[in-house]
Amino acid sequence: MVTVAAFARTAALVGDPARAGMLTVLMDGRALTAAELARAAGVTPQTASGHLAKLAEAGLLTVARQGRHRYHRLASPAVARMLEGVMAVASMPDAARPAATRAPSIRSPGPRDAALREARTCYDHLAGRLAVAMADSLVARGAVELGEDGGALTPAGEVFLRGLGVDLDAASGRRVFCRPCLDWSERRPHIAGALGAALLATCLDRGWLRRSEGSRAVAVTPGGRLALGRAFGYRQACACGDAA
Amino acid sequence: MVTVAAFARTAALVGDPARAGMLTVLMDGRALTAAELARAAGVTPQTASGHLAKLAEAGLLTVARQGRHRYHRLASPAVARMLEGVMAVASMPDAARPAATRAPSIRSPGPRDAALREARTCYDHLAGRLAVAMADSLVARGAVELGEDGGALTPAGEVFLRGLGVDLDAASGRRVFCRPCLDWSERRPHIAGALGAALLATCLDRGWLRRSEGSRAVAVTPGGRLALGRAFGYRQACACGDAA
DNA sequence: CCCATGCTTCGGCCATCGCCGAAGCGTCCG
DNA sequence: CGGACGCTTCGGCGATGGCCGAAGCATGGG
């Protein structure tokens, strides 16, 4: 039985601006140190420490100590799904949201912003223009079906993706491991869930994409430009996310 | 762009105990008056009024005035999904959750509790033992596939459900409109999303189930007992939810 | 061995926000 | 038309909880 108190406590944990900032940053799926999270949230380390202790104790985060660092990451896909759900509601076009008290949210990414819109990680899968293009291409080719409530990989899609080297068995024995996830920047769904994770893993394994240091942006490699263009008809909008 | 501030504000809205209680009750999908919600949350009407105004302004609820009553309901499926996500995390078996400060959550349903566990509404679909049994039966028969990340209706399942009179076209043109939703009492997934809504609608239309007055429990009618037993192999655990 | 670094705990300050009593509007009914 | 009812607004009280400075443990490196 889930008590209303536990329900409220969980939501309240996400509802604090500082903690929300940390969780937002952790949505890229990586493990970050307390100091990095403190900077991201705009608070001092001691304040962040308190927040992180609460989040960990409630089971939203897991911590791994490595030397004198403590790495924090989202505890489970369920937490990521919850955060996605809140995002979806928060981004809904609702009645007159006064843009008055607009805190500087996250330190302005500046020129990196374009790279973020192009391709970035979203917990364990891809997001951005690349991810939306991949989803569109897969739907157009009849490889996956995507709806408001879920998605599915078709038999034809299974063949196609295996041909690309995507490891479909690692995820689960069934073909229903697909889930739409609303893209912040594109405002269109991309592919999340186990299939989304497998796609990202493949792109990284084959050297098509490379994670950026200290950012959730991912860069398309020269080889990736070729392979992604061929497989999904993807063409970069700009060269800003280029991998040297 | 979704600012971190908006994200936190949305979660904080859910994070207050009184508002959480109201939202929990509204998860049954019905529209309730401010007074009913005040009772459910255990606060006075004027306090509830303030909360409801905030929830409506943020787009979580929609209000419909009818005479001197104001009926409140969840604004969209997206809101229901968000609340489900929070529930899923809140119900996770995490580190030592002290059961000390256990508020009386919701007024104890007493004898009605058994009926709630048997069959109840969950936003726009069914939950409880009946819903889990239906999901199990559909999976066993190969009509739907359910995974952690989503679900899908198979071609065979489409035929089967059309035979039962389920209106599949009303939901969407595709067959991916299925979604797992963790059942509180059973701790196992049942079918949500557009398919779950269509199933509930069919059960009500055909007189197999009947909503109870003032409760989210639904009662199985004599005809429903026969039909649900035949279609899903369902047998009531007790007669407590009986429809006179 | 000692210092630098990363993180935590403690104590006190302060703002936010939920809460209710009282009073003010609309609506419905006798 | 007057009273009952549903709901809202207003004002003040109180508590929860976030914030930082300072100090306390650990770990790792010189």
Domain ranges across chain A: 4-88, 112-232
**CATH class for domain B8-77?**
mainly alpha
pLDDT in tens, A94-127: 544 444 333 344 443 444 578 888 999 999 999 9
Helix (H, G, I), strand (E, B), or coil: what is residue A127? strand
Averages of pLDDT over each 10 residues, chain B, 244 residues: 90 98 95 96 97 97 94 96 95 54 40 80 93 96 87 89 87 66 85 93 96 85 96 79 44
pLDDT interval class at A151 (50, 70, 90):
confident
Classify each residue of B39-65 as buried b or exposed e, where b means 16 or more C-beta atoms within 10 Å of its C-beta: bbbbbeeeebbebbebbbebbbbeeee
Q: Looking at A72-76, A238-242, B66-70, B118-122, which range is the least confident one?
A: A238-242
Establish if B237 touches chain A: CB-CB under 8 angstroms.
no
pLDDT of residue A116: 85
pLDDT of residue B106: 42
> Searching chain A, which residue's CA lies closest to the CA of residue B174?
A147
Higher local confidence (pLDDT), A147 or A124: A124
Residues B154 and B139: their CA atoms lie apart, in Å, by 10
Torsion angle in degrees (nearest 10) through CA of B33, B125, A76, A94: -50
Shortest CB distance from B78 goes to which of A24, A83, A92? A92
> Do residues A142 and A157 lie in contact, with contact meaning Cβ atoms separated by under 8 Å?
yes
pLDDT of residue B170: 63
Angle between helices A34-41 and A45-57 (to 10 degrees): 110
Mean pLDDT of chain A: 86
pLDDT of residue B180: 87
Average pLDDT of span A126-153: 91
What fold, for A4-88? Arc Repressor Mutant, subunit A (1.10.10)
Q: For residue B16, which residues of chain A lie inside 8 Å, CB to CB?
A: 8, 12
Task: State the maximum Cα–Cα separation within chain B, in Å, rounded to a whole number.
Answer: 53
Question: Inter-chain contact B4–A16, Cβ cutoff 8 Å?
Answer: no
Please name the amino acid found at residue B53.
A
Residues A220 and A240: their CA atoms lie apart, in Å, by 10
pLDDT of residue B95: 46
Q: For residue B86, which residues of chain A lie inside 8 Å, CB to CB?
A: 7, 10-11, 14, 82, 85-86
pLDDT of residue A90: 95
With CA of B32 and C1' of each nucleotide, the nearest comes out as D6
Handedness of CA B45, B91, A12, A181 (dihedral sign): negative
Residues A6 and B89: their CA atoms lie apart, in Å, by 10
